[in-house]
Structure 1
Amino acid sequence: MRKYMIAEADIHSTALRQLGAEVHVMNSLLCYVSFNIKGTKVSYVYNINKKNKYFLQRIKPYPETAGTFSSEDELIKTIKIDIEQFENAANSHHFKEFIEFNKNLNETIRNFEDLYLYYNVPNETIREIQVELNKMQALIKRTRETSQRVYKKKDPDTI
């Protein structure tokens, strides 16, 4: 099985190099971790390479890249905090709605990418989308300022 996987990686690497890519094949382990938080599945994948670097991504209930970590302790701490935050958020009466919002936002990002990759979007439309995006960001910041903070072990990364 391992020889087959190495051969497959070689085929993929060759095809990608022909497209102009630099390809680095790493010998790593892929790990899948899953939790059930009040009926909501929260899952992660991470890989460990031979340099003991960990790349973590949450895949459920919606995808979110968590980053690359230098130690197992950092990786576990990040998952622990994320799970604590989900457990805390699950106490909200709006938890399911927030999960759906995030799923919709991820779909919107994919839709927007398709828009500019497949279509010549007029300047007027680009400006209109930017105005709407600015409104949403401002609403999120206003909501943060007027809402009670319920998780305090870690500061927010973005707002």
Structure 2
Amino acid sequence: MKIIDTYSTKGDSIEILLRQIGATKITHVRGFLYFIKFKIDDLDITYTYNINHKNQYFLQRIEPYPLGKGIFDKEIEIVSFIQKDLSKFKKAKKLDNFNNFLNLNNTITSLTTDVENLFLNYDISDVDISQLEETLNAFSDKIEECKKNINNIE
């Protein structure tokens, strides 16, 4: 019973901190899983985290596109991460082609699902994966080239 009380206390204190940085909605699922929503103008940014059996927090951003963000040991670390992440979104949202990049991220996420679907549901024995790797490497190289030739917003 003491473990549940510890999780509940940690959940309550992190909820207060998240509301202080602007969370508009926090949903508890069975006391160990939380969903936190923020709004930046018309953009919803949603995170989820759970407290695992090692008393650590696993954080994911689920909106505007899903991305695992890591494991944190302390409440303040997760709040600090979210606060910095929101600040980056506020800066990026001001850029002209922000929505195009959101669409690109969603396409990339869909590709991850498509690749998983391919190897879990089809006989991939004769697939030449080198062509897929070449395309992916070219895309990765293009991203690196862009980073070298444009200004950092931080």
TM-score range, shorter chain: 0.7 to 0.9
Shift of 1:38: 2.4
User: Partner of 1:99 in structure 2?
Assistant: 102
> Which of 43, 53, 57 matches 2:56?
53
Shift of 1:96: 0.8
**Large movers: runs of 4+ above 4 Å:** none
Structure 2's unaligned 5+ residue stretches are 1-29
CA RMSD across the alignment: 1.6
* Change over 3 Å in CA distance of 1:123–1:52 after alignment to 2: closer
Identity %: 31
Larger Rg: 1
User: Partner of 1:85 in structure 2?
Assistant: 88
Deviations 1:63-92 (A, max 9, x none): 111111100111011101110111111011
* Change over 3 Å in CA distance of 1:136–1:52 after alignment to 2: same
Residue 77 (structure 2) pairs with residue 109 (structure 1):
no
User: Partner of 1:70 in structure 2?
Assistant: 73
Structure 1's unaligned 5+ residue stretches are 1-26, 152-159
Letter in 2 for 1:33: I
Number of residue pairs matched? 124
User: Partner of 2:5 in structure 1?
Assistant: none
Q: TM-score, normalised by structure 1?
A: 0.73
Shift of 1:50: 6.3
Residue 139 (structure 2) pairs with residue 136 (structure 1):
yes
Letter in 1 for 2:150: S
> Which of 44, 49, 53 matches 2:47?
44
User: Partner of 2:149 in structure 1?
Assistant: 146
* Aligned counterparts of 1:84 and 1:136: Cα–Cα separation in 2: 27
